Amino acid sequence: MVTSPQTEKFAACLRLLKDRSGRGYDRLGKEAGVSGSSLHRYCSGLSVPADYRVVHTFAKACGAGTEELRELHRLWALADAERDVPAATAKEDPEPAAAPDEPSVPARTGTGPAGDTPPGAAPDGAGRPRRYRVPEKLSSRFAVLAAVVAVALVAGFVWLPAGHSAGASPTAEDGLLYSPACRSVSMGQHDECVREVQKLLVRAKGRLAVDGDFGPETLRRLTAFQVLAGMTATNVVDDATKKALYARKVSMATWSPDRVTQRIREVFTEDPDTAVAIARCASFLDPLWVLPNTNGSRNWGVFQISDARLRELGGTPLRAFDPAWNIEAAHRLWSARRDFHDWPSCEAALKSAPTDTPKS
């Protein structure tokens, strides 16, 4: 089996934590809610966990700190995104393959979009694209005509009213996200387009770093923003999301961890300390925390209530982002058996924490 680069990095991080803990796979697997053999496969890079909560609980049991957990989440998300992409070898694909019906085009030095091919162009016998050949007698006439057209276009742009462009497309001061370079902004990207998205999320009161790296942190905030804006969470910055980001009508301001803690203690009067610890394990006490699972479902809010549980409780992702509702809903789940069985990974980690002492 060929292990992808991102999966190997993720597995290496798991092995480091496991070795540091000084404990065996069976014991750590039990605390993480999986078998020891499954945990061994994760640490060997043979597979990637379907649910990040297993990874989170394993890491906490190994004594991982906040920064290590963030990095581990980033590596897990990248490994999960990469495992469905077939690995190409040098023998199988020595050069980037052209898309069907789209012959490859050498790099251009002009000002037009890279990769543009004149309509009707086709590869020649050597595999290179065949360009139109303009008769020498007509080439000068075409040059003059091109110059006239260029002048006309420039003049047209100069006289267009402010706030409009040749395509009459969405403006929002023609923000960077509307440029061709930012046509697609998604997970794994690292560029100025991502930085622009992050800046707009921060402007909307989202809590995240502006580093130009589209990792799990940015994905979480993007998902929260889309839900708060009344849109479907798509995992990508589509046209509707761009408009909403520039419109400045969505606020991601929410409760602080201290306020969340206070409210949990007020609701979970039967066992406030454990309830706070469970919430901290699940979401770092962040009301807008989102955790995607590889089966397409997500967990939402302070107590990371799953899509399935939301349906049972008559809730929605938007309601789950309301910390007051989320905490009350979690208490309803707790009341069913008066325990925290709905959070098995966090509960197992908390039960084992007092007696776990990493070996030197």
The reply to whether 46 and 66 lie within a common domain is yes
Residue 236: CATH number of its domain: 1.10.101.10
The reply to whether 349 and 263 lie within a common domain is yes
DSSP secondary structure code for residue 292 in this structure: E
Domain range for 42 is 5-82
The reply to whether 277 and 346 lie within a common domain is yes
For residue 321, being part of any structural domain is answered with yes
For residue 322, being part of any structural domain is answered with yes
Instruction: Say if strands 298-300 and 305-306 run parallel, antiparallel, or are unpaired.
Output: antiparallel
- On whether the pTM is more than 0.75, the answer is no
**Residue indicated by tokens 């100025």:** 192
Q: 54 or 327: which carries more pLDDT confidence?
A: 327
Instruction: Say if strands 290-292 and 122-123 run parallel, antiparallel, or are unpaired.
Output: unpaired
End residue of a domain, out of 247, 275, 297: 247
For residue 51, being part of any structural domain is answered with yes
Q: What is the largest CA-CA distance in the chain?
A: 92
- Nearest by Cα to 206 from 280, 284, 288: 288
The reply to whether 202 and 261 lie within a common domain is no
Number of domains in the chain: 3
The reply to whether 229 and 287 lie within a common domain is no
The fraction of the chain above a pLDDT of 90, given in percent, is 45
pLDDT digits (tens, 9 = 90+) for 298-356: 999 999 999 999 999 999 999 999 999 999 999 999 999 999 999 988 887 777 655 44
Q: What angle do CA 226, 227, 228 make, to 5 degrees?
A: 90
pLDDT computed for residue 190 by the predictor = 94
The reply to whether 237 and 300 lie within a common domain is no
With the C-alpha atoms ordered 98, 104, 106, 112, is the resulting torsion angle positive or negative?
Answer: negative
pLDDT computed for residue 143 by the predictor = 52
End residue of a domain, out of 22, 52, 82: 82
The reply to whether 342 and 285 lie within a common domain is yes
The reply to whether 271 and 235 lie within a common domain is no
Residues 6+ apart with CB under 8 A from 231: 240, 241, 244
pLDDT computed for residue 176 by the predictor = 96
> Rounded to an integer, what distance in angstroms lies between the CA atom of residue 338 and that of residue 351?
16
| Cross-strand bridge partners of residue 305 | 300
The reply to whether 277 and 214 lie within a common domain is no
pLDDT computed for residue 87 by the predictor = 43
Residue 340: CATH number of its domain: 1.10.530.10
pLDDT digits (tens, 9 = 90+) for 233-277: 998 999 999 999 999 999 999 999 999 999 999 999 999 999 999
At residue 14, does pLDDT exceed 90? yes
- Nearest by Cα to 332 from 306, 309, 299, 302: 309
pLDDT computed for residue 61 by the predictor = 86
> Rounded to an integer, what distance in angstroms lies between the CA atom of residue 291 and that of residue 53?
8
pLDDT digits (tens, 9 = 90+) for 79-138: 876 654 444 433 344 444 444 443 333 333 333 333 333 333 333 434 443 343 444 444
For residue 160, being part of any structural domain is answered with no
